[in-house]
Every structure is written in C-alpha cells, then in structure tokens.
C-alpha cells in the first residue's frame, strides 16, 4: 500500500519495457456498487494503475465529459467519504494501485487528518489535486508524506523550465505532464511539435516516470504521446466509452499504450 | 485622528490575508497569475500608467462621484445624518467600471487584446464590454442562464457594445457557474487572453488588484467627508456579494479605528430558511475559484447554490479579505432579506429620488436598522454601489405578483 507500492508497480512495468497506462474513471458514475467490477475490468485490460476521480460541484480544470460524469456521480450520492468507505470495504490489496484525483475542497471539508487516515484504511496509494499548485502545497504535503501517500504533481506546457525541475523533484510516483493548454477532454490532435519536445525535456530532468495526460482519445495518440515519456493517462475518452458500454474499445485503447 | 499611520498590510507576498486567499488554481494558470502580479506591481509604480488611469476615471467614468447628504432619509429614520457615496453616477451605472478600466489598461500593457469576464447582475459584464469597446479589445462574457433571464436589458447592452455573451446552463445558472466557465475559458486561452475578474474573489492577485482599483471609492469618500465635516464618519455601510464595492470603500478606512465598518450580505428568503447568499454570516471556510474563504457548502465540501433577489449578490463565496476582516472583527457582517431589500429599494426611491440597485438596497435596508441604534449627532455613509434601472422590471413583476 501507499507510495512505495505505487512506485514499485510503475517500475515493474517499465522494467518489462512496457509503457504505463493509467485510465481515469469517475468514482460513483453509474453508482458506487459497480466500482469494484470496474477496477477488475481495467486491470484485465492491462491498466497499470487507476485514477479515481472524486466528484466536485465546481471542477474548473475539467471539460464537459468529466463535468457531466461528476454531476451523475453526485446524483448517485457519491462523496469523498462515501468513496473511501466503499474502497475500504473491498478485498485488499486492490487489483491495481489506486490514485485519487480530487479538488482540494472536499479534502478540507473532511479534514486532513481524517482524509489521510481514511486513505490508509481504503488502500489509496496516491493523490492528485488539480487546484493545488506548489505555492499552496504546504497545506497538505507533510500529512501526505507521514501517511505514505504519493502526492503526484502536475506540470503544464506553460510551466517555465526551472519550475518544471522543481515539480519533477518534488513529485512522488510519477510526474503528471499536462499535454494541452486547456481543460480535460478529447482533442483530435496535439500540437506535437510542441508536446514532443516538452515530454522529452521533462523525461530528461525527472527522477520519476513522466506520464502524459489531458486530451488523449485514440490508440494512435496514446501510443504516440506515450512514446515520448513513460506512458499516458486517459480520462474523458474512457468515461465516454464506459457510458456507451463500449468495453472492447476501452480494452483496445489501453492495450495500444504498452 | 485625521491623519492615520498605516498599520494594515494585507495581503502578504503569497496573496494571503491571514489564512485566507492564496492561489488554488491549476498549474497551467500559475505563470499567468505570476505575470499579472508582476505587471500590476510595475504598472502602479509607473506614473504613465497611473496618470492614464486617472485621466480615464475623470474624463470617461465621470469621477469623482458625489457624496450626497440624504436629508429626507436621515429625517425619516430619525437617527444619524446619512450620506450616500454615489457610485450609481459612474458611467455604466455602478462601481464596476473603476476596476474594468484599470484591468483593461493592464491587459494592454501585457500585450493581451482579448478579454474574458464573468457577470452576475450584468453590471460587471457591461462595464467590461464598455471598456473593451473603448479600447478596441475582443470581449467574451459568461453569464448564467437564470441571470440572463432576469437581466435581459444588460445582455442587450453588452451585445450592443460588441461583446459576445455566452449563456451558462451548468449548475444553478448563476454567478458561480459563470465564474467556472470564465475560468475554464481562461485555462483554454491563457496565452492571448486576460481574465477581467469583477470582484475581490478568485486567486491572488485578483482580490488585491480589484480592491486597489476600487479603493478610489473609499479614498474619495474619506476626503470628501473630511472636507465637509472636518472629521471622519462614525460608520460606513456597504453590501457584500463577492465584496468589491465594500472592499473598495472599507480599505482606506481600515486603519481609522473609530470608523465602524458594516458589510451587508444577501439574506435571501431569510437566514433561517437556508435560502440565502450569506457566506460570511452562515458559511464555513473552504476553497472555491482559487481562493480560501467563507463558502456556502455541505459537509462533503460540495458548493451550495446561493439564493438572493439580487443577481449581483447571488454568490456562494466571498472575497478572502472579507473573511479576514470578519475573523479579526474589524468589519461587522450582517444579512438583509429579499423583503427588507425591496422595502429599502422603495424607501430610497421615494425619499431621495434615487432608485438604488437591489444590491445597494441591502446596504440601505441595514441602515434602517442601524440608524435606530445611533445618535442624531453621529454620521454614516452608505456606499450606493449602483443604480436600480436594471432592476425596475424585476421589481415591478414582483410587486405586481403580490
């Protein structure tokens, strides 16, 4: 469990000359009862770990697909504490490492101590907070370290080099490289002349694996972007395919990365 | 007494007002916020910028605005002598333009000629569209679906001024949702677009920049009152949604310990009903739209919908500096219901011949209560943040429905 478990699984994948693929799903979308089944399904597809979105009423970093999934999950009664309770009820260890993606406010509402304690009970290995830049991370960083939770930092195309180096050195588990200047959601193409060198640069400075995320929606894109760094994170497209019950396509998409 | 030493120095370099404020935004926006702060700090120390700003405020906005003695209202309430700071007389009819002129000049200084903004009542949207027309900037304004319905006239105004108005149907279709969409738009267009945030909310440096541009209200008021009465007022009252007119009014008075400051939130159907927009008086601390502040939220940290008759106060958060001034007890915050605001809307109209904005009517309504506790030899100033022309249609339909 925890940071070391996540780092071990990522290293094992890379050592077999495979790329890392982390699908994102919205916890509670479709009800919390199908969560366990979905984790197993993603494991079977060959996912390295899973990023579990926590629904929030005001997700400013997210595009329409994840916004809608969040609204559906909230209607199902999902909340950070309900999701953590659900995870705690599953047989552990989980089929694959669990990374929570949550805005900061739900964590603050529960309370930091409560949150890290519940993460340990629930077998959560890492956390990504899209609205907590390094200027504000003192709020939580120590508590996460003490609880052995990987705190995964994001870096953007707009981050200056020196800042990117700092973020890469701070990041636990992997470095999340945002590959579009925008919110989450599928793009038909990326600015490869910009994104390619950006990922290669990050790879050269980062002590942890570099994963590309945001806007990846096709096997071609996943393979291409994954090739510059150590792998990819795929969110909105997975949510859309789950919504349409296109499980085979999810399988193909995840398989295309390795 | 009249010359005070400055002891108030919020925010710190991290944009914190005590524990409130900060920059809780996606990494993608951090460079833009840092650039904005640097550009602002440079600009306000550049006399070319400040004299430009002063010239526009004087010749285009119509400053300074008068401090009007509300003789009839004072007599009717039978308490202190009441003055009105007439922000309703600014070009476009509210205080919002004090900020949009400043930020538009700043945007151009940064080489950005595209502007995005959010609006609630439409006053900030109109003030933004106005300066964009003046300076030839491209302008897109996000406005909640519900607000578009209740503020049709302002939508037409913005379009007439050349702005593109985008309807936001997510959530409650009000100001909070418009801010979400404006922030997302900024995330997607940060390379060439400046976000003119309309209140003292959002990530640092916005609360500081907006406060400073709006502090012309308090500076003028202090000066005008001193010249007229050779002393400072005993109390200053302003309405608080996000809180830009209040912050602009209060800031120059913060070190004047003898001047009591009152912020009036929207109590909606009544604080006890849960249907209100009183984030400070009834909310709890959390993070929304990039800042740590008092919010209306449930136990899971999901933001609740704010309710108010006034579209401009209909926001489930509040500026972080207000949270700080609340915690330190420098400002007393209170709430006024829709009904009380409507009564005050009529009262000011028929006693003084001034139709206030529904937002400002909340401040007037609180003064009706406060006046009873004050002495006849005392003085108070109400920040009349805007005029009520935009609200008459809505008020007419409410009154006719009764």
Averaged pLDDT score across all residues of chain B: 95
Q: A-side interface with B, Cβ within 8 Å?
A: 56-63, 67, 74, 79-81, 103-110, 130-133, 135-136, 153-160, 163, 167, 178, 181-183
Query: Which of B28, B184, B300 is closest, CB to CB, to A109?
Result: B300
Chain B residues in contact with A108 (beta carbon < 8 A): 285-287, 301
What is the arithmetic mean of pLDDT over A54-58? 97
Chain B residues in contact with A132 (beta carbon < 8 A): 24
Closest approach of chain B CAs to the CA of A191, in angstroms? 14
Closest approach of chain B CAs to the CA of A82, in angstroms? 9
Q: How confident is the model over B192-236, as pLDDT tens digits?
A: 999 999 999 999 999 999 999 999 999 999 999 999 999 999 999
Whether residue A223 contacts residue A20, with contact meaning beta carbons closer than 8 Å, is answered with no
Query: CA B329 to CA B62: how far, in whole Å?
Result: 34
Number of domains in chain A: 1
Residue A111 CB-density burial (10 A; 0-12 exposed, 13-18 middle, 19+ buried)? exposed
Q: How confident is the model over A83-93, as pLDDT tens digits?
A: 999 999 999 99
**Cβ <8 Å between B24 and A155:** no
Our answer to whether residue B96 is catalytic in this structure is: yes
Which pLDDT belongs to residue A27? 98
**Cβ <8 Å between B288 and A182:** no
Interface test with B, best of A112, A118, A135 (most B CBs within 10 A): A135
**Cβ <8 Å between A133 and B301:** no
**Cβ <8 Å between B27 and A160:** no
Query: Which of B30, B183, B302 is closest, CB to CB, to A56?
Result: B302
Closest approach of chain A CAs to the CA of B122, in angstroms? 21
Closest approach of chain B CAs to the CA of A59, in angstroms? 8
Supply the angle between the helices B206-214 and B320-327 in degrees, to the nearest 10.
80
Domain containing A189: what range?
Answer: 5-255
**Cβ <8 Å between A135 and B14:** yes
Chain B residues in contact with A80 (beta carbon < 8 A): 300-301
What is the arithmetic mean of pLDDT over B335-342? 98
Query: CA B44 to CA B56: how far, in whole Å?
Result: 15
Q: Which residue is closest to A154 within chain B, CA to CA?
A: B27
User: If you count residue pairs, one on A and one on B, with CB atoms under 8 Å apart, how many are there?
Assistant: 117
Counting residues of chain A whose pLDDT is more than 70, the rounded percentage is: 100
Which pLDDT belongs to residue B133? 98
Of B376, B286, B277, B291, nearest to B333 (Cα)? B277
Q: Which residue is closest to B305 within chain A, CA to CA?
A: A57
A109-115, Cβ contacts within 8 angstroms, sequence gap of 24 or more: A109/A80, A109/B286, A109/B297, A109/B298, A109/B299, A109/B300, A109/B301, A110/A80, A110/A81, A110/B300, A110/B301, A112/A139, A112/A140, A112/A143, A113/A143, A115/A80, A115/A84
Q: How confident is the model over A157-206, as pLDDT tens digits?
A: 999 999 999 999 999 999 999 999 999 987 877 888 899 999 999 999 99
**Cβ <8 Å between A159 and B27:** yes
Chain B residues in contact with A107 (beta carbon < 8 A): 301
**Cβ <8 Å between A178 and B14:** no
Which pLDDT belongs to residue A187? 81
Residue B108 CB-density burial (10 A; 0-12 exposed, 13-18 middle, 19+ buried)? middle
Chain B residues in contact with A182 (beta carbon < 8 A): 28, 187-188
Averaged pLDDT score across all residues of chain A: 96
Which pLDDT belongs to residue A133? 98
Q: Does B187 touch chain A (CB under 8 A)?
A: yes
**Cβ <8 Å between B27 and A183:** no
Which pLDDT belongs to residue B1? 45
Chain B residues in contact with A61 (beta carbon < 8 A): 26, 28, 184, 187
Q: Does B36 touch chain A (CB under 8 A)?
A: no
Catalytic residue among B85, B96, B112, B260: B96
CATH number for the domain spanning A139: value is: 3.20.20.70
Q: Does B201 touch chain A (CB under 8 A)?
A: no
- B210-247 burial, b if ≥16 CB within 10 A, otherwise e? bbbbbbbbbbbbbebbeeeeeebbbbbbbbbbbbbbbb
Interface test with A, best of B24, B31, B171, B295 (most A CBs within 10 A): B24
Q: How confident is the model over A11-47, as pLDDT tens digits?
A: 999 999 999 999 999 999 999 999 999 999 999 999 9
Query: CA A17 to CA A21: how far, in whole Å?
Result: 13
Q: How confident is the model over B55-99, as pLDDT tens digits?
A: 999 999 999 999 999 999 999 999 999 999 999 999 999 999 999
Q: What is the DSSP letter of B66?
A: P
pTM for this predicted structure? 0.96
């Amino acid at each position: 469990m925890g940071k070391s478990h996540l780092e071990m699984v990522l290293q094992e994948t890379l050592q077999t000359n495979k790329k890392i693929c982390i699908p994102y799903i919205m916890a509670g979308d479709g009800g919390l009862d199908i969560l366990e089944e979905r984790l197993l399904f993603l494991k079977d597809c060959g996912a390295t770990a899973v990023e579990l979105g926590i629904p929030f009423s005001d997700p400013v970093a997210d595009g329409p697909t994840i916004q809608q999934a969040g609204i559906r999950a909230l209607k199902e009664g999902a909340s950070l504490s309900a999701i953590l309770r659900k995870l705690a009820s599953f047989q552990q260890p989980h089929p694959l490492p669990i990374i929570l993606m949550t805005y900061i406010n739900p964590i603050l509402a529960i309370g930091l101590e409560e949150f890290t304690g519940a993460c340990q009970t629930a077998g959560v290995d890492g956390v990504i907070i899209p609205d907590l830049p390094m200027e504000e991370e003192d709020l939580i960083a120590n508590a996460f370290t003490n609880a052995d939770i990987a705190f995964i930092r994001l870096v953007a195309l707009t981050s200056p080099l020196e800042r990117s180096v700092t973020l890469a050195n701070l990041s636990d588990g992997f470095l999340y490289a945002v590959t579009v200047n925008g919110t989450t959601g599928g793009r038909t193409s990326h600015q490869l002349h910009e994104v390619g060198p950006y990922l290669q640069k990050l790879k050269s400075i980062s002590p942890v694996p570099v994963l590309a995320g945001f806007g990846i929606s096709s096997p071609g894109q996943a393979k291409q972007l994954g090739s510059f760094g150590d792998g990819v994170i795929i969110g909105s497209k997975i949510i859309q395919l789950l919504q349409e019950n296109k499980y085979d396509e999810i399988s193909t998409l995840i398989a295309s990365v390795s | 007494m009249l010359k005070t030493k400055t002891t108030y120095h919020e925010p710190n370099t991290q944009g914190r007002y005590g524990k409130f404020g900060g920059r809780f935004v996606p990494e993608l926006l951090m460079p833009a916020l840092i650039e904005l702060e640097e550009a602002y700090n440079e600009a306000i120390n550049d006399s070319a910028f400040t004299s430009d700003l002063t010239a526009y405020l004087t010749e285009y906005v119509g400053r300074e605005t008068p401090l009007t003695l509300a003789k009839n209202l004072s007599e009717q309430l039978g308490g202190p002598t009441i003055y009105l700071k007439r922000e309703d007389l600014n070009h476009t009819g509210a205080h919002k333009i004090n900020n949009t002129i400043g930020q538009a000049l700043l945007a151009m200084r940064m080489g950005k000629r595209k502007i995005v903004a959010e609006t609630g009542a439409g006053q900030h949207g109109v003030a933004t569209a106005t300066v964009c027309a003046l300076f030839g900037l491209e302008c897109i304004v996000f406005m909640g679906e519900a607000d578009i319905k209740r503020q049709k006239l302002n939508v037409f105004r913005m379009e007439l001024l050349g702005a593109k108005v985008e309807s936001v149907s997510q959530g409650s279709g009000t100001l909070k949702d418009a801010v979400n969409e404006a922030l997302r738009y900024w995330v997607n267009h940060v390379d060439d677009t400046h976000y003119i945030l309309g209140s003292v909310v959002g990530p640092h440096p916005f609360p500081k920049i907006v406060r400073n541009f709006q502090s012309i209200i308090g500076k003028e008021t202090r000066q005008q009152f001193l010249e007229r009465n050779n002393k400072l007022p005993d109390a200053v009252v302003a309405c608080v949604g996000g809180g830009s007119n209040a912050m602009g009014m209060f800031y120059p008075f913060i070190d004047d310990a003898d001047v009591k400051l009152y912020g009036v939130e929207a109590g909606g159907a009544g604080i006890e009903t849960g249907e209100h927009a009183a984030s400070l008086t009834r909310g709890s601390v959390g993070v929304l739209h990039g800042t740590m502040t008092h919010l209306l939220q449930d136990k899971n940290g999901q933001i609740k919908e704010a309710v108010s008759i006034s579209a401009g106060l209909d926001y489930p958060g509040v500026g972080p500096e207000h949270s700080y001034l609340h915690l330190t007890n420098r400002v007393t915050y209170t709430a006024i219901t829709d009904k009380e605001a409507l009564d005050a809307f009529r009262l000011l109209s028929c006693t003084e011949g001034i139709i206030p904005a529904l937002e400002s009517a909340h401040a007037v309504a609180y003064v009706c209560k406060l006046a009873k506790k004050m002495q006849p030899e005392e003085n108070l100033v109400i920040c009349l943040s805007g005029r009520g022309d935009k609200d008459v249609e809505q008020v007419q339909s409410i009154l006719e429905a009764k």
